[in-house]
């Protein structure tokens, strides 16, 4: 199946902000799995972001978080009436804008990922659960939310075609777009040629579908697959493709799990490599918003946020204690 379109999405709740053209770093780290294992399990940095409430958050919560450039932090969220994206500035320690993505019924913007200067997020009708759309936005555009550069619409059976967690990366001359449905039961992976993606002429093709319930688990580090709030995609110099899933289990344990996507087999498989528990401070919750990024200096950062934007929104960063000071 192939998908390509661009649609207009009206702006809602905005405050002036100016970001110069920039991108996330997309260098290939030598060994992604080892960097993940070396992440500190307690916060290495904490931000308190000033926020003046400007809309009613009822019926939803924060869903995902990513860093953009040196100081930009994006947070996706849902409400009863709109899906939205908030932008924070870590330097000035404030939420600088909150923009609508789509009105209800597309009220639920889920976990997302930024690759280079592109942000991919799934937006769904979380009540009917039979339709969703994945938008890819160019963050260097003057008003990215008004015109996504790519859209993938998903319709079908109840819960099968939702889009609660989305990952995005480049691998082997392709752009890879991962979409996890309700409770992350199924993983759909769409691809397009990387060169065409950057030219704005690509068409995404559904290449891989994985039913996680039927995955063989004898080679996994442990047999548990969870309902992940966020799933991010990464590669490294070892030419491997990885998934990181984050969530909270047993109402108290904040976890990030590392998987390898194995493409040599037919069909493609996932294999669990390791699991790590993290210990955030008060209000921060992996069941709400957590996301992994590669920094410009080649380290990993796991970011986490609370359920809602608050007067002082607490953001925690889990990185490497031996990382040189910036």
Backbone φ, ψ for residue 264 (5° rounding) = -70, -25
Q: How large is the average pLDDT for residues 92-105? A: 96
Q: Give the whole-angstrom CA distance, residue 76 versus residue 85.
A: 5
Give the model's pLDDT for residue 11. 36
Would you say 204 and 150 are in contact if contact means Cβ atoms under 8 Å apart?
Answer: yes
| Number of other residues whose CB lies within 10 A of the CB of residue 201 | 11
Question: Is the pLDDT at 84 greater than 90, yes or no?
Answer: yes
SS3 content of the chain, % helix, strand, coil (to 5): 5, 50, 45
pLDDT confidence of residue 266? 82
Long-range contacts: 190-199, Cβ < 8 Å, 24+? 190/3, 190/152, 194/170, 197/150
Per the CB < 8 A criterion, the answer to whether 241 and 235 are in contact is yes
Is pLDDT above 70 for 111? yes
User: What's the pLDDT score for residue 217?
Assistant: 97
What is the chain's mean pLDDT, rounded? 91
**Averaged over 107-130, what is the pLDDT?**
98
71 closest CA partner among 52, 93, 50: 93
Give the domains, in start order, of the chain with CATH numbers: 2-318 (2.115.10)
Find, among 159, 204, 167, the residue nearest to 1 by Cα: 204
Per-residue pLDDT, 22: 55
Angle, alpha carbons 78-257-317 (nearest 5°) = 65
15 pLDDT higher than 50: no
Q: In what order do the strands lie in the sheet with 269-278?
A: 230-235, 241-249, 253-262, 269-278
Q: pLDDT (tens digit, 9 = 90+) per residue, 132-153?
A: 999 999 999 999 999 999 999 9
Q: How confident is the model at residue 26 (pLDDT cuts 50, 70, 90)?
A: low
Which pLDDT score, from 0 to 100, does residue 321 have?
Answer: 74
Lowest mean per-residue pLDDT among 55-59, 109-113, 157-161, 305-309? 55-59
pLDDT at 115 exceeding the cut of 50? yes
Q: How far apart are CA 314 and CA 289, in angstroms?
A: 12
pLDDT score, position 5: 37
Q: At 23, is the secondary structure helix, strand, or coil?
A: coil
**Both ends of the chain: CA-CA distance in Å?**
45
Tens-digit pLDDT profile for residues 276-297: 999 999 899 999 999 999 999 9
Contact predicate 130/161, CB 8 Å = yes
Q: Which two tokens stand for residue 265?
A: 């087999």
């Amino acid at each position: 199946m192939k998908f390509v379109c661009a649609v207009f999405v009206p702006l809602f709740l905005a405050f002036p902000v100016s970001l110069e053209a920039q991108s996330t770093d997309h260098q290939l780290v030598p060994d992604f799995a080892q960097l993940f294992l070396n992440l500190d399990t307690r916060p290495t940095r904490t931000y308190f972001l000033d926020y003046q409430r400007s809309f009613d958050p009822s019926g939803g919560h924060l869903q995902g978080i990513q860093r953009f450039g040196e100081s930009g932090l994006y947070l996706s969220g849902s409400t009863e009436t709109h899906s939205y994206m908030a932008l924070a500035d870590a330097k000035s320690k404030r939420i600088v804008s909150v923009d609508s993505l789509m009105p209800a019924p597309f009220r639920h913007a889920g976990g997302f990922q930024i690759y280079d200067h592109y942000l991919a997020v799934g937006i769904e009708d979380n009540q009917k659960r039979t339709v969703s759309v994945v938008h890819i936005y160019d963050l260097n555009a003057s008003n990215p939310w008004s015109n996504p550069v790519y859209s993938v619409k998903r319709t079908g059976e109840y819960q099968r075609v939702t889009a609660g967690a989305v990952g995005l990366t480049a691998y082997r001359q392709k752009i890879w777009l991962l979409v996890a449905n309700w409770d992350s039961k199924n993983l759909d992976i769409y691809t397009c040629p990387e060169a065409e993606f950057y030219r704005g002429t690509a068409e995404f093709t559904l290449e891989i579908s994985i039913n996680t319930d039927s995955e063989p688990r004898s080679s996994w580090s442990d047999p548990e697959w969870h309902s992940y709030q966020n799933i991010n995609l990464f590669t490294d110099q070892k030419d491997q493709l990885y998934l990181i899933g984050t969530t909270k289990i047993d109402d108290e344990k904040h976890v990030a799990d590392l998987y390898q996507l194995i493409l040599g087999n037919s069909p493609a498989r996932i294999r669990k490599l390791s699991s790590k528990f993290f210990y955030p401070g008060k209000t921060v919750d992996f069941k709400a918003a957590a996301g992994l990024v590669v920094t410009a200096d080649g380290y990993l950062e796991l970011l986490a946020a609370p359920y809602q934007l608050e007067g002082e929104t607490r953001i925690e960063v889990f990185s490497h204690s031996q990382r040189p000071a910036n």
